[in-house]
Chains A and B, each alone.
Chain A
Amino acid sequence: MNMIEVKNLKKSFGDLEVLKDISFDVKKGEVIAALGPSGSGKSTLLRSLIELEKIDGGSIIIEGNFLCKDGKYPPEKKIAAIRSKMGMVFQHFNLFPHMSVKDNLICAPLMQKTAPKNELIKKCQALLDKVGLIDKIDAAPSSLSGGQKQRVAIARALMLNPDILLFDEPTSALDPELTKEVLNVIKQLAEDKMTMIIVTHEIGFAYEAADKILFMTDGYILDYDTPEKVLKNNSNERINQFLNNVI
Protein backbone atom coordinates (compact mmCIF):
# COMPACT_ATOMS: atom_id res chain seq x y z
CA MET A 1 0.00 0.00 0.00
CA ASN A 2 1.23 3.50 -0.81
CA MET A 3 1.47 5.71 2.26
CA ILE A 4 2.45 8.73 0.22
CA GLU A 5 1.82 9.42 -3.46
CA VAL A 6 3.06 12.60 -5.05
CA LYS A 7 2.07 13.40 -8.62
CA ASN A 8 3.48 16.24 -10.71
CA LEU A 9 3.96 18.47 -7.69
CA LYS A 10 4.86 22.08 -8.50
CA LYS A 11 5.77 24.83 -6.09
CA SER A 12 7.09 28.36 -6.56
CA PHE A 13 8.06 31.15 -4.20
CA GLY A 14 7.12 34.20 -6.25
CA ASP A 15 9.05 33.90 -9.51
CA LEU A 16 11.36 31.21 -8.16
CA GLU A 17 10.24 27.76 -9.22
CA VAL A 18 11.50 25.55 -6.41
CA LEU A 19 9.79 22.23 -7.14
CA LYS A 20 9.31 21.66 -10.85
CA ASP A 21 7.69 18.30 -11.46
CA ILE A 22 7.94 15.93 -8.56
CA SER A 23 6.37 12.48 -8.60
CA PHE A 24 7.16 9.56 -6.30
CA ASP A 25 5.54 6.98 -4.02
CA VAL A 26 6.40 5.77 -0.56
CA LYS A 27 5.20 2.36 0.58
CA LYS A 28 4.26 1.34 4.09
CA GLY A 29 7.30 0.81 6.30
CA GLU A 30 9.75 2.28 3.81
CA VAL A 31 12.54 4.56 4.94
CA ILE A 32 13.45 7.19 2.39
CA ALA A 33 16.57 9.33 2.65
CA ALA A 34 16.35 12.56 0.67
CA LEU A 35 19.72 13.86 -0.51
CA GLY A 36 20.80 16.66 -2.76
CA PRO A 37 22.68 19.94 -2.89
CA SER A 38 21.67 22.94 -0.82
CA GLY A 39 18.73 24.79 -2.34
CA SER A 40 17.54 21.84 -4.40
CA GLY A 41 14.14 21.91 -2.67
CA LYS A 42 14.36 19.04 -0.16
CA SER A 43 12.94 21.03 2.74
CA THR A 44 10.23 22.57 0.60
CA LEU A 45 9.16 19.12 -0.57
CA LEU A 46 9.03 17.75 2.95
CA ARG A 47 7.14 20.80 4.23
CA SER A 48 4.65 20.51 1.38
CA LEU A 49 3.82 16.96 2.42
CA ILE A 50 2.59 18.14 5.82
CA GLU A 51 1.09 21.35 4.49
CA LEU A 52 3.57 23.78 6.02
CA GLU A 53 3.86 24.99 2.43
CA LYS A 54 0.95 25.13 0.00
CA ILE A 55 1.77 23.74 -3.42
CA ASP A 56 0.74 25.35 -6.71
CA GLY A 57 0.01 22.28 -8.79
CA GLY A 58 -0.10 18.50 -8.78
CA SER A 59 -1.42 16.13 -6.14
CA ILE A 60 -0.40 14.78 -2.75
CA ILE A 61 -2.16 11.65 -1.54
CA ILE A 62 -1.62 10.48 2.03
CA GLU A 63 -2.88 6.97 2.80
CA GLY A 64 -5.39 7.21 -0.01
CA ASN A 65 -6.71 10.68 0.88
CA PHE A 66 -6.05 13.77 -1.20
CA LEU A 67 -4.20 16.40 0.79
CA CYS A 68 -4.13 18.29 -2.47
CA LYS A 69 -5.76 17.38 -5.75
CA ASP A 70 -4.46 19.12 -8.88
CA GLY A 71 -3.37 22.09 -6.81
CA LYS A 72 -6.63 22.39 -4.91
CA TYR A 73 -6.93 21.81 -1.18
CA PRO A 74 -9.95 20.41 0.68
CA PRO A 75 -11.48 22.30 3.64
CA GLU A 76 -9.21 22.91 6.67
CA LYS A 77 -10.90 20.18 8.71
CA LYS A 78 -10.04 17.55 6.14
CA ILE A 79 -6.50 18.88 5.83
CA ALA A 80 -6.07 18.70 9.61
CA ALA A 81 -7.28 15.11 9.63
CA ILE A 82 -4.76 14.14 6.94
CA ARG A 83 -1.97 16.11 8.62
CA SER A 84 -2.63 14.22 11.86
CA LYS A 85 -1.41 11.00 10.19
CA MET A 86 2.06 12.52 10.04
CA GLY A 87 4.64 13.82 12.45
CA MET A 88 7.56 16.11 11.74
CA VAL A 89 10.95 16.60 13.35
CA PHE A 90 12.80 19.85 12.63
CA GLN A 91 16.45 20.73 12.34
CA HIS A 92 16.23 23.14 15.27
CA PHE A 93 14.04 20.86 17.40
CA ASN A 94 11.38 23.52 18.07
CA LEU A 95 10.65 22.27 21.55
CA PHE A 96 8.37 24.53 23.58
CA PRO A 97 10.88 26.26 25.87
CA HIS A 98 8.39 27.27 28.56
CA MET A 99 7.28 23.68 29.21
CA SER A 100 8.97 20.73 30.87
CA VAL A 101 9.92 17.74 28.74
CA LYS A 102 6.82 15.95 29.98
CA ASP A 103 4.51 18.82 29.05
CA ASN A 104 6.15 19.07 25.64
CA LEU A 105 5.09 15.48 25.07
CA ILE A 106 1.61 15.49 26.53
CA CYS A 107 0.32 18.98 25.72
CA ALA A 108 -0.87 18.26 22.17
CA PRO A 109 -2.54 14.87 22.86
CA LEU A 110 -4.08 16.40 25.99
CA MET A 111 -5.67 19.14 23.87
CA GLN A 112 -6.98 16.58 21.43
CA LYS A 113 -8.27 14.41 24.28
CA THR A 114 -6.89 11.28 22.60
CA ALA A 115 -6.62 9.53 25.99
CA PRO A 116 -6.99 10.32 29.69
CA LYS A 117 -4.10 12.20 31.29
CA ASN A 118 -2.73 9.31 33.34
CA GLU A 119 -2.53 7.13 30.24
CA LEU A 120 -0.76 9.90 28.36
CA ILE A 121 1.75 10.22 31.16
CA LYS A 122 2.41 6.47 31.04
CA LYS A 123 2.91 6.69 27.30
CA CYS A 124 5.18 9.70 27.73
CA GLN A 125 7.30 7.71 30.19
CA ALA A 126 7.48 4.73 27.84
CA LEU A 127 8.57 6.90 24.90
CA LEU A 128 11.16 8.79 26.92
CA ASP A 129 12.47 5.46 28.06
CA LYS A 130 12.68 4.35 24.46
CA VAL A 131 14.79 7.36 23.46
CA GLY A 132 16.88 7.01 26.62
CA LEU A 133 15.73 10.12 28.42
CA ILE A 134 13.39 8.92 31.15
CA ASP A 135 15.51 10.72 33.78
CA LYS A 136 14.89 14.03 31.99
CA ILE A 137 11.12 13.87 32.22
CA ASP A 138 10.84 16.95 34.45
CA ALA A 139 13.77 18.83 32.94
CA ALA A 140 13.43 22.12 31.08
CA PRO A 141 14.39 21.96 27.39
CA SER A 142 17.04 24.64 27.94
CA SER A 143 18.93 22.26 30.23
CA LEU A 144 19.28 19.56 27.54
CA SER A 145 22.03 19.01 24.98
CA GLY A 146 21.13 19.28 21.30
CA GLY A 147 21.02 15.52 20.87
CA GLN A 148 18.75 15.19 23.90
CA LYS A 149 16.48 17.93 22.59
CA GLN A 150 16.15 16.17 19.27
CA ARG A 151 15.33 12.87 20.94
CA VAL A 152 12.64 14.63 22.98
CA ALA A 153 11.30 16.11 19.75
CA ILE A 154 11.10 12.63 18.24
CA ALA A 155 9.30 11.29 21.31
CA ARG A 156 6.92 14.24 21.15
CA ALA A 157 6.06 13.42 17.54
CA LEU A 158 5.51 9.75 18.46
CA MET A 159 3.01 10.67 21.20
CA LEU A 160 0.39 11.22 18.49
CA ASN A 161 0.88 7.78 16.89
CA PRO A 162 1.78 9.03 13.43
CA ASP A 163 1.84 6.58 10.53
CA ILE A 164 4.48 8.65 8.78
CA LEU A 165 7.41 10.63 10.21
CA LEU A 166 9.17 13.40 8.33
CA PHE A 167 12.65 14.55 9.38
CA ASP A 168 14.26 17.73 8.03
CA GLU A 169 17.99 17.48 8.69
CA PRO A 170 17.47 16.17 12.21
CA THR A 171 21.21 16.09 12.98
CA SER A 172 22.55 19.09 11.08
CA ALA A 173 22.66 21.23 14.22
CA LEU A 174 24.50 18.57 16.23
CA ASP A 175 28.09 17.50 16.96
CA PRO A 176 29.14 14.12 15.52
CA GLU A 177 28.87 12.46 18.93
CA LEU A 178 25.32 13.72 19.48
CA THR A 179 24.43 12.94 15.87
CA LYS A 180 25.01 9.26 16.58
CA GLU A 181 22.54 9.08 19.46
CA VAL A 182 19.81 10.67 17.33
CA LEU A 183 20.53 8.47 14.31
CA ASN A 184 20.36 5.42 16.56
CA VAL A 185 16.84 6.39 17.62
CA ILE A 186 15.84 6.82 13.99
CA LYS A 187 17.35 3.42 13.13
CA GLN A 188 15.30 1.91 15.93
CA LEU A 189 12.16 3.42 14.39
CA ALA A 190 13.17 1.93 11.04
CA GLU A 191 13.36 -1.50 12.66
CA ASP A 192 9.85 -0.90 14.04
CA LYS A 193 8.76 -0.40 10.41
CA MET A 194 7.85 3.25 10.75
CA THR A 195 7.35 4.94 7.37
CA MET A 196 9.83 7.82 7.22
CA ILE A 197 11.29 10.43 4.93
CA ILE A 198 14.57 11.81 6.22
CA VAL A 199 16.32 14.78 4.64
CA THR A 200 19.93 14.37 5.63
CA HIS A 201 23.53 15.02 4.72
CA GLU A 202 24.69 11.85 6.50
CA ILE A 203 25.49 9.66 3.50
CA GLY A 204 26.69 6.75 5.63
CA PHE A 205 23.48 6.74 7.59
CA ALA A 206 21.41 6.98 4.41
CA TYR A 207 23.27 4.01 2.95
CA GLU A 208 22.78 1.90 6.04
CA ALA A 209 19.28 2.80 7.14
CA ALA A 210 17.33 3.81 4.05
CA ASP A 211 15.41 1.52 1.74
CA LYS A 212 15.58 4.14 -0.98
CA ILE A 213 17.46 7.31 -1.75
CA LEU A 214 15.59 10.22 -3.22
CA PHE A 215 18.14 12.42 -4.91
CA MET A 216 17.11 15.98 -5.77
CA THR A 217 18.67 18.74 -7.82
CA ASP A 218 17.15 22.04 -8.94
CA GLY A 219 13.60 21.08 -8.07
CA TYR A 220 13.67 17.72 -9.84
CA ILE A 221 14.11 14.17 -8.63
CA LEU A 222 17.27 13.01 -10.34
CA ASP A 223 17.18 9.47 -9.00
CA TYR A 224 14.94 7.41 -6.73
CA ASP A 225 16.30 3.96 -6.07
CA THR A 226 18.04 1.68 -3.59
CA PRO A 227 21.11 3.07 -1.77
CA GLU A 228 23.21 0.44 -3.55
CA LYS A 229 22.23 1.76 -6.97
CA VAL A 230 22.22 5.49 -6.17
CA LEU A 231 25.28 5.66 -3.94
CA LYS A 232 27.54 2.88 -5.24
CA ASN A 233 26.84 2.19 -8.88
CA ASN A 234 25.78 5.46 -10.33
CA SER A 235 26.75 6.78 -13.72
CA ASN A 236 25.07 10.13 -13.21
CA GLU A 237 27.69 12.84 -13.15
CA ARG A 238 25.87 15.26 -10.88
CA ILE A 239 25.18 12.64 -8.24
CA ASN A 240 28.78 11.46 -8.23
CA GLN A 241 29.99 15.04 -8.09
CA PHE A 242 27.74 15.63 -5.07
CA LEU A 243 28.94 12.47 -3.36
CA ASN A 244 32.58 13.37 -3.95
CA ASN A 245 32.02 16.76 -2.42
CA VAL A 246 30.32 15.39 0.66
CA ILE A 247 32.64 12.51 1.42
Chain B
Amino acid sequence: MELKQWISQMSIGSLLTLKLFFATIFISLILGLATTFLYTSKNKYISKITGFYILIMRGTPLLLQIFFVFFGLPYLPFIGKYLVFDRFTAGAVAFILNYTAYYAEIFRGGLLSIDNGQYEAAKVLGMTALQTKFKIILPQMFRVSLPAISNEAIILVKDTALITTIGLTDLLQVTKTIVNRTTNISAFVVAALFYLVMSYILTIFFKFLEKRFAY
Protein backbone atom coordinates (compact mmCIF):
# COMPACT_ATOMS: atom_id res chain seq x y z
CA MET B 1 0.00 0.00 0.00
CA GLU B 2 1.37 3.35 -1.04
CA LEU B 3 1.92 6.23 1.29
CA LYS B 4 -0.22 8.53 -0.85
CA GLN B 5 -3.07 6.07 -0.80
CA TRP B 6 -3.12 5.65 2.93
CA ILE B 7 -2.88 9.35 3.54
CA SER B 8 -5.95 9.88 1.38
CA GLN B 9 -7.82 7.10 3.18
CA MET B 10 -6.88 8.48 6.55
CA SER B 11 -8.09 11.94 5.49
CA ILE B 12 -11.46 10.52 4.54
CA GLY B 13 -11.60 8.74 7.89
CA SER B 14 -10.69 11.87 9.83
CA LEU B 15 -13.32 13.82 7.96
CA LEU B 16 -15.97 11.44 9.24
CA THR B 17 -14.56 11.79 12.76
CA LEU B 18 -14.67 15.57 12.46
CA LYS B 19 -18.19 15.52 11.06
CA LEU B 20 -19.42 13.46 13.98
CA PHE B 21 -17.56 15.64 16.46
CA PHE B 22 -18.93 18.95 15.21
CA ALA B 23 -22.49 17.69 14.70
CA THR B 24 -22.51 16.34 18.26
CA ILE B 25 -20.94 19.30 19.99
CA PHE B 26 -23.06 21.99 18.34
CA ILE B 27 -26.38 20.24 18.61
CA SER B 28 -25.87 18.84 22.10
CA LEU B 29 -24.74 22.19 23.49
CA ILE B 30 -27.98 23.76 22.28
CA LEU B 31 -30.17 20.84 23.35
CA GLY B 32 -28.25 20.63 26.62
CA LEU B 33 -29.16 24.21 27.42
CA ALA B 34 -32.81 23.54 26.59
CA THR B 35 -32.72 20.38 28.72
CA THR B 36 -31.36 22.34 31.67
CA PHE B 37 -34.32 24.69 31.47
CA LEU B 38 -36.73 21.77 31.34
CA TYR B 39 -34.97 20.11 34.27
CA THR B 40 -35.06 23.27 36.39
CA SER B 41 -38.64 24.04 35.32
CA LYS B 42 -41.22 24.68 38.02
CA ASN B 43 -43.47 22.05 36.46
CA LYS B 44 -42.84 18.89 38.48
CA TYR B 45 -43.65 16.47 35.67
CA ILE B 46 -41.43 18.14 33.09
CA SER B 47 -38.61 18.22 35.60
CA LYS B 48 -39.10 14.54 36.58
CA ILE B 49 -39.21 13.33 32.98
CA THR B 50 -36.09 15.31 32.11
CA GLY B 51 -34.34 13.95 35.18
CA PHE B 52 -35.22 10.42 34.09
CA TYR B 53 -33.80 11.05 30.62
CA ILE B 54 -30.54 12.32 32.12
CA LEU B 55 -30.36 9.33 34.45
CA ILE B 56 -30.71 6.87 31.54
CA MET B 57 -28.18 8.66 29.36
CA ARG B 58 -25.56 8.96 32.06
CA GLY B 59 -26.30 5.62 33.66
CA THR B 60 -25.86 3.35 30.62
CA PRO B 61 -22.87 2.88 28.30
CA LEU B 62 -22.69 5.11 25.25
CA LEU B 63 -21.89 1.99 23.23
CA LEU B 64 -25.17 0.43 24.29
CA GLN B 65 -26.98 3.61 23.27
CA ILE B 66 -25.33 3.55 19.84
CA PHE B 67 -26.39 -0.09 19.35
CA PHE B 68 -29.87 0.68 20.58
CA VAL B 69 -30.41 3.56 18.17
CA PHE B 70 -28.99 1.69 15.17
CA PHE B 71 -30.10 -1.91 15.76
CA GLY B 72 -32.82 -1.54 18.38
CA LEU B 73 -35.09 1.30 17.37
CA PRO B 74 -36.30 -0.31 14.10
CA TYR B 75 -37.73 -3.20 16.15
CA LEU B 76 -39.97 -0.93 18.23
CA PRO B 77 -43.65 -1.70 17.70
CA PHE B 78 -45.64 0.72 15.49
CA ILE B 79 -43.06 3.51 15.29
CA GLY B 80 -40.06 1.28 14.56
CA LYS B 81 -40.42 1.50 10.80
CA TYR B 82 -39.98 5.28 10.97
CA LEU B 83 -36.82 4.96 13.04
CA VAL B 84 -34.55 3.26 10.54
CA PHE B 85 -31.46 5.46 10.23
CA ASP B 86 -28.37 5.14 8.09
CA ARG B 87 -25.24 4.35 10.07
CA PHE B 88 -23.96 7.89 10.43
CA THR B 89 -27.32 9.35 11.42
CA ALA B 90 -27.88 6.60 13.97
CA GLY B 91 -24.43 7.16 15.43
CA ALA B 92 -24.88 10.92 15.53
CA VAL B 93 -28.31 10.63 17.17
CA ALA B 94 -26.91 8.41 19.90
CA PHE B 95 -23.96 10.72 20.50
CA ILE B 96 -26.22 13.78 20.61
CA LEU B 97 -28.67 12.18 23.03
CA ASN B 98 -25.81 11.16 25.29
CA TYR B 99 -23.85 14.41 25.23
CA THR B 100 -27.01 16.49 25.62
CA ALA B 101 -27.51 14.87 29.01
CA TYR B 102 -23.95 15.63 30.09
CA TYR B 103 -24.09 19.21 28.88
CA ALA B 104 -27.45 19.69 30.60
CA GLU B 105 -25.84 18.67 33.89
CA ILE B 106 -22.89 20.97 33.29
CA PHE B 107 -25.18 23.93 32.62
CA ARG B 108 -27.28 23.07 35.66
CA GLY B 109 -24.13 23.20 37.77
CA GLY B 110 -23.41 26.61 36.26
CA LEU B 111 -26.91 27.80 37.16
CA LEU B 112 -26.57 26.56 40.75
CA SER B 113 -23.34 28.50 41.17
CA ILE B 114 -25.08 31.83 40.58
CA ASP B 115 -25.85 33.67 43.78
CA ASN B 116 -29.48 34.42 44.56
CA GLY B 117 -28.46 38.06 45.00
CA GLN B 118 -28.07 38.33 41.22
CA TYR B 119 -31.74 37.50 40.72
CA GLU B 120 -32.75 39.88 43.49
CA ALA B 121 -30.65 42.75 42.14
CA ALA B 122 -32.18 42.23 38.68
CA LYS B 123 -35.65 42.18 40.19
CA VAL B 124 -35.31 45.39 42.18
CA LEU B 125 -33.87 47.04 39.07
CA GLY B 126 -37.14 46.22 37.33
CA MET B 127 -35.90 43.55 34.93
CA THR B 128 -38.39 40.98 33.72
CA ALA B 129 -37.75 37.26 34.19
CA LEU B 130 -36.71 36.96 30.55
CA GLN B 131 -34.35 39.93 30.67
CA THR B 132 -32.81 38.55 33.84
CA LYS B 133 -32.27 35.17 32.25
CA PHE B 134 -30.65 36.41 29.06
CA LYS B 135 -28.65 39.41 30.28
CA ILE B 136 -27.71 38.38 33.80
CA ILE B 137 -27.93 34.65 34.33
CA LEU B 138 -26.96 32.99 31.03
CA PRO B 139 -23.71 34.91 30.48
CA GLN B 140 -22.54 33.99 33.97
CA MET B 141 -23.71 30.42 33.60
CA PHE B 142 -21.71 29.99 30.38
CA ARG B 143 -18.62 31.47 31.92
CA VAL B 144 -18.78 29.19 34.93
CA SER B 145 -19.46 26.16 32.72
CA LEU B 146 -16.60 26.72 30.25
CA PRO B 147 -13.96 24.50 31.89
CA ALA B 148 -16.43 21.61 32.15
CA ILE B 149 -17.66 22.16 28.57
CA SER B 150 -14.07 22.04 27.39
CA ASN B 151 -13.38 18.86 29.30
CA GLU B 152 -16.43 17.16 27.83
CA ALA B 153 -15.45 18.27 24.30
CA ILE B 154 -12.06 16.61 24.65
CA ILE B 155 -13.67 13.41 25.87
CA LEU B 156 -15.93 13.56 22.83
CA VAL B 157 -12.95 13.73 20.44
CA LYS B 158 -11.88 10.32 21.66
CA ASP B 159 -15.36 8.87 22.12
CA THR B 160 -16.04 9.33 18.39
CA ALA B 161 -13.98 6.18 17.81
CA LEU B 162 -16.90 4.15 19.23
CA ILE B 163 -18.72 4.72 15.97
CA THR B 164 -16.66 1.99 14.26
CA THR B 165 -18.82 -0.51 16.12
CA ILE B 166 -21.73 0.06 13.78
CA GLY B 167 -19.58 -0.34 10.71
CA LEU B 168 -18.52 3.20 9.97
CA THR B 169 -15.03 3.83 8.70
CA ASP B 170 -13.77 6.69 10.80
CA LEU B 171 -10.13 7.55 11.33
CA LEU B 172 -9.51 4.72 13.77
CA GLN B 173 -11.10 2.06 11.55
CA VAL B 174 -9.06 3.20 8.52
CA THR B 175 -5.92 3.19 10.61
CA LYS B 176 -6.51 -0.35 11.80
CA THR B 177 -6.99 -1.56 8.23
CA ILE B 178 -3.83 0.18 7.05
CA VAL B 179 -1.72 -1.29 9.85
CA ASN B 180 -3.09 -4.74 9.04
CA ARG B 181 -2.16 -4.43 5.39
CA THR B 182 1.18 -2.67 5.65
CA THR B 183 2.35 -4.45 8.81
CA ASN B 184 3.76 -1.09 9.82
CA ILE B 185 2.56 0.81 12.89
CA SER B 186 3.28 4.35 11.71
CA ALA B 187 -0.40 4.81 10.83
CA PHE B 188 -1.20 4.37 14.53
CA VAL B 189 1.20 7.16 15.35
CA VAL B 190 -0.40 9.43 12.76
CA ALA B 191 -3.88 8.70 14.18
CA ALA B 192 -2.69 9.35 17.71
CA LEU B 193 -1.24 12.66 16.57
CA PHE B 194 -4.55 13.58 14.96
CA TYR B 195 -6.51 13.03 18.20
CA LEU B 196 -3.81 14.77 20.17
CA VAL B 197 -3.70 17.83 17.93
CA MET B 198 -7.47 18.10 17.96
CA SER B 199 -7.58 17.96 21.74
CA TYR B 200 -4.80 20.51 21.90
CA ILE B 201 -6.60 22.92 19.57
CA LEU B 202 -9.76 22.57 21.68
CA THR B 203 -7.80 23.22 24.85
CA ILE B 204 -6.35 26.41 23.40
CA PHE B 205 -9.70 27.50 22.00
CA PHE B 206 -11.48 27.11 25.34
CA LYS B 207 -8.60 28.76 27.22
CA PHE B 208 -9.06 31.69 24.88
CA LEU B 209 -12.79 31.80 25.61
CA GLU B 210 -12.14 31.64 29.35
CA LYS B 211 -9.77 34.61 29.09
CA ARG B 212 -12.08 36.51 26.79
CA PHE B 213 -15.01 36.18 29.17
CA ALA B 214 -13.07 36.38 32.41
CA TYR B 215 -14.41 38.63 35.14
Which positions in A face B, CB cutoff 8 Å?
Answer: 50, 52, 80, 83-84, 86-88, 90, 92, 94-98, 107-108, 111-112, 140-142, 156-157, 160
Contact = CB atoms under 8 A, between A and B. Distances in A.
B48 interface: no
B125 A98 contact: no
A111 B131 contact: yes
Contacts of A87: 124-125
Given A97-B140, A97-B215, A86 B124 contact: yes
A94 B215 contact: no
Interface string B96-138: 0000000000000000000101101111111100010001100
Contact of B127 (A88, A90, A92, A108): A108
24 contacts: A52-B124, A80-B126, A83-B124, A83-B126, A86-B124, A87-B124, A88-B124, A90-B117, A90-B121, A94-B118, A94-B121, A95-B121, A96-B118, A98-B143, A98-B213, A107-B125, A108-B122, A108-B126, A108-B127, A111-B126, A111-B135, A140-B215, A156-B125, A160-B125
Contacts of A50: 124
B135 A141 contact: no
B139 interface: yes
Contact of B120 (A94, A98, A140): A94
A95 B124 CA distance: 12
Given A90-B121, A107-B135, A111-B131, 14 more contacts: A87-B125, A88-B124, A90-B120, A92-B115, A92-B117, A94-B118, A96-B118, A96-B121, A97-B140, A98-B213, A108-B122, A108-B126, A111-B135, A160-B126
B214 to A, nearest CB: 9
The 4 A-B pairs with the shortest beta carbon distances in the complex, nearest first, are A108-B125, A94-B121, A94-B117, A88-B124
Contact of A52 (B123, B131, B139, B143): B123
Tell me which of A83, A98, A112, A142 has the highest count of chain B C-beta atoms within 10 A of its own C-beta.
Answer: A98
Interface string B141-169: 00100000000000000000000000000
Contacts of A90: 117, 120-121
A67 B137 CA distance: 27
A233 to B, nearest CB: 36
A142 B131 CA distance: 23
Contacts of B124: 50, 52, 83, 86-88, 157
A80 B127 CA distance: 9
Contacts of A98: 139-140, 143, 213, 215
A111 B125 CA distance: 10
A141 B215 contact: yes
Nearest to B117: A94
A166 B76 CA distance: 61
A160 B127 CA distance: 12
Contact of A111 (B118, B121, B127, B140): B127
Nearest to A111: B131
A84 B128 CA distance: 12
B139 to A, nearest CB: 5
Contacts of A140: 215
Contacts of A96: 118, 121, 136
A50 B125 CA distance: 11
A87 B124 CA distance: 6
B19 to A, nearest CB: 34
B124 to A, nearest CB: 4
B38 to A, nearest CB: 24
Contacts of B120: 52, 88, 90, 94
B110 to A, nearest CB: 12
B155 to A, nearest CB: 27
Which of B118, B125, B127, B131 has its CB near the most chain A CB atoms (within 10 A)? Answer: B125
B152 to A, nearest CB: 22
Nearest to B116: A94
A96 B137 CA distance: 9
A83 B128 CA distance: 12
A94 B127 contact: no
A224 B149 CA distance: 55
